[in-house]
Amino acid sequence: MILGIGSDLANIERIAGVLERHGDRFRNRVFTDREQSKAERRQDVAGTYAKRWAAKEACSKALGTGLRMGISWKDMGVSNLKTGQPVMHLTGWAKQRLDDMTPAGHEAILHVTLTDDHPWAQAFVVIEARPIA
């Protein structure tokens, strides 16, 4: 059963401009240490941050809240499996919201996909409730 779907489109040049103007202040407010480490190792730093920005926005929409109601940017983080597949990690209020919306006897599975085609980065997040076997 699908609990929520969210998508977002981010402009890579806009994120690059914010990074240039606000640097660490922006990075530290929005992105987890793991996300920052990944982005700073990549050739396309701004594109990597833009995809993660879009994923956070998409996740907040899939949770049915948008970025309000106490969800912090850092309550949602994106990492990658060894295969390269992106995965979303929730903590804090975002995790509490996910737990509250997941029916009894089910586990929540977050599916996330990221893509970019300069100057755009896009993310989709689908929250699935799967019965616990």
Q: Is the pLDDT of residue 67 over 80?
A: no
Cβ neighbours of 87 (radius 10 Å): 12
Contacts (Cβ under 8 Å, ≥6 apart) of 58: 6, 7, 8, 112, 123, 124, 125
pLDDT in tens, 21-62: 999 999 999 999 999 999 999 999 999 999 999 999 999 999
0.85 exceeded by the pTM?
yes
The answer to whether residues 48 and 3 touch, using CB atoms and an 8 Å cutoff, is no
pLDDT in tens, 97-127: 999 999 999 999 999 999 999 999 999 999 9
Please state which of the four CATH numbers 3.40.50.720, 3.40.50.300, 3.50.50.60, 3.90.470.20 is assigned to the domain occupying 2-131.
3.90.470.20
Report which residue type is found at 56. Answer: K
Please identify which residue in the block is written with the tokens 């920005």. Answer: 53
Q: How many residues does the chain have?
A: 133
- Residue 69's pLDDT is 66
Residue ranges per structural domain of the chain: 2-131
